[in-house]
């Protein structure tokens, strides 16, 4: 089991996560963007600026 802790997150919305303290069975181990690994085992390995900002629709 793993407990969700906002201090371990890279998200800008980590202060408002409603999952703080939840005990879960799994956790992400890799993030892939357009076929490139950008995070692995909690470490950001991608180049800065590789992502594309997705604008929110009104």
Q: How many CA atoms lie within 13 A of 46 on its CB side?
A: 16
Judged by DSSP in three states, 23 sits in strand
Which pLDDT score, from 0 to 100, does residue 24 have? 94
| 8 Å CB contact between 36 and 49 | no
Cα distance between residue 42 and residue 51, in whole Å = 17
Model confidence at 25, pLDDT cuts 50, 70, 90, reads: very high
Could you tell me the pTM of the whole model? Answer: 0.58
| 8 Å CB contact between 17 and 25 | no
């Amino acid at each position: 089991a793993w407990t969700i802790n906002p201090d371990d997150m890279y998200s800008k919305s980590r202060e408002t996560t409603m999952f703080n303290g939840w005990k879960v069975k799994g956790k992400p181990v890799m993030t892939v963007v357009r076929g490139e690994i950008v995070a692995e085992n909690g470490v950001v390995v991608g180049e800065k600026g590789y992502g594309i900002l997705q604008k929110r629709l009104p």
